[in-house]
Each structure stands twice: as structure tokens, then as C-alpha cells.
Structure 1
Amino acid sequence: MADLTGAKWRKSTRSGGNGGECVEVADNLPGVVAVRDSKDPHGVALTFSPTAWANFVRGTRTSR
């Protein structure tokens, strides 16, 4: 499990603007990108390697 101490969370630009269904991303830690539900900041966070995260983001952009 990755140590997320010091993570700087930001809301995804793709999160809904209605105050719900927000995803937060922390990409300031070396070797890991973390993703969590903003409504449950103390809950589980998914972690990805920077390469896996970049591939995911690239895939979502090209699938529109």
C-alpha cells in the first residue's frame, strides 16, 4: 500500500459541477497517482503508477 502522507488532492476537471460525484486526484507523490471519492476523503484511495494513470487518461480522451 502506498503512503499517501503529503498528498495534495485536487478535484478532477471532469467531475460534475453539481457538488456530487467528484473524483479527486493526487499526483504530487513520487511514483504514485492516487484517486479517491471526494465525498469520502478518509475512505479508500485507488493508486496507480504514473504510467498506468497517463495511459488511462489518454484512453479516456481518445474514446470520446
Structure 2
Amino acid sequence: IRSALKKGALAAKVCGAGGGGCVAFIVPPGKKQLIVDELDLQGGKVLPFQFVSRGQVTSHQKQ
């Protein structure tokens, strides 16, 4: 976390517990690749995602 903040991340949030947790970062668009590279050097794995404007949707089909 410290390395990403030094490279320009604005904030970090630790999620999960134990050995399987994640850290979410808020990063300015112009700093993204720099921080991704730093996390890679530190042994981190970046999981791509995107925000969506609507919640979960379920559907049902007759069989």
C-alpha cells in the first residue's frame, strides 16, 4: 500500500481477511500504469474491473 501511495494512488481500502484478501486503490487515470507496474514489482496481482450503473440482474426461462 505504501508503495502505491508514494507512486500517486489517492487512497487504499483493504478488503477481506487472512491470506486471501485484496486491496482496492483509487488512482488518477494518468498514474494507473505506473502504479500497476509498482504493484507487479511488489508481487501483487492486478484484477481488472469496471464500475456499472445498475445492480445485479436475474432472469428466468421456462424449460
Give TM-score, length-normalised by structure 1.
Answer: 0.38
Greater per-residue strand proportion = 1
Larger radius of gyration: 2
Greater per-residue helix proportion = 2
The higher-RCO structure (CA 8 Å, 6+ apart) is 2
